[in-house]
């Protein structure tokens, strides 16, 4: 190891945690991995495949809140790893009225349905465990869906082994995983304020708007839905680019083509779960 620090993060125990993770997975004998193609699930899938080989199956669910570009990337990454991979449809989520109403426990409703399907697939395939990629840093955010994992007996090896996001990135880079520096991603429904009904049209607008920004070279951003207004959250280091006239005009054009009437820039920049900020005080009421 070249240094005990990486971008200011102490990593002296990272290798020990990695071995602990491998031992944890080895003791399971077989598993289904909930695989989105993000930083965490890719790392978990890679380690699981290295340890268990074909006794592990990565499963990706397609649903309206999961962008087409993310699905394609997940398929490509699974091929790169070599892990057996299954893509299943989960398009009936918007038929659940309680979910469509977008309550504070929206994530709980979604995950309850999703992981119940994963458990059924695991049972059909003779797999005894379902794993997912919550890491040790995720406990600090507003995530009402975590209760589902306990209720359904879903395992979170990265969390249980105390592995943090930055450590996952460090190890992923060493393993040449393409996700090592991938920005965090959350489902498209997280762009819609709680209480605002979730519809295919709104999700499509958000997906098209974000694809437009991505095509212009932006990354690690969010387009938040506020009716006719698209509120863009950009990483602070990318904000200057938006004030160039040609870039600004292209952004406005693309987001209006996506269906928005007005385009606004959030001067606070991107931060995880900004739509959760008014609700973090009531987290205990929905968990």
Residues 6+ apart with CB under 8 A from 226: 193
Pairwise CA distance, residues 206 & 223, whole Å = 6
Phi then psi for 45, rounded to 5 degrees? -65, -40
Residues 6+ apart with CB under 8 A from 60: 35, 36, 37, 71, 74, 75, 78, 85, 86, 87, 88
- As given in the structure block, the two tokens for residue 277 are 């900020």
What is the DSSP track for 23-68?
A: HHHHTT--EEEE--SSHHHHHHHHHHHHHHGGGEEEEEEE-TTS-H
Active site residues: 187
* DSSP-derived 3-state class of residue 159: helix
């Amino acid at each position: 190891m070249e240094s005990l620090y990486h971008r200011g993060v102490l990593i002296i125990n990272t290798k020990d945690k990695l071995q602990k993770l491998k031992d944890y997975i080895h003791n399971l004998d077989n598993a289904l991995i909930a695989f989105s193609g993000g930083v965490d699930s890719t790392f978990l899938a890679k380690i699981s495949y290295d340890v268990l080989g074909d006794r592990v199956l990565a499963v990706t669910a397609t649903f309206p809140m999961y962008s087409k570009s993310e699905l394609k990337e997940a398929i490509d990454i699974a091929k790169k790893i070599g892990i057996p991979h299954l893509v299943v449809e989960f398009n009936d989520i918007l038929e659940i009225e309680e979910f469509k109403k977008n309550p504070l426990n929206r994530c709980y409703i979604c995950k309850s349905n999703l992981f119940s399907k994963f458990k059924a697939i695991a049972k059909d395939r003779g797999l005894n465990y379902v794993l997912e990629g919550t890491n040790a840093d995720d406990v600090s955010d507003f995530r009402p869906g975590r209760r589902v994992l306990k209720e359904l007996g879903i395992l979170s090896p990265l969390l249980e082994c105390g592995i943090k996001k930055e450590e996952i990135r460090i190890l992923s880079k060493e393993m040449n995983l393409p996700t090592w520096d991938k920005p965090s991603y959350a489902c498209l429904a997280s762009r819609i304020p709680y209480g605002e009904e979730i519809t295919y049209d709104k999700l499509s607008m958000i997906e098209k708007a974000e694809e437009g920004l991505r095509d212009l070279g932006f990354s690690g951003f969010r387009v938040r839905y506020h009716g006719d207004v698209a509120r863009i959250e950009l990483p602070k280091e990318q904000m200057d680019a938006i004030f160039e006239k040609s870039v600004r005009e292209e952004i406005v054009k693309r987001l209006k083509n996506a269906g928005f009437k007005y385009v606004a820039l959030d001067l606070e920049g991107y931060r995880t779960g900004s739509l959760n900020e008014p609700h973090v005080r009531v987290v205990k009421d929905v968990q």
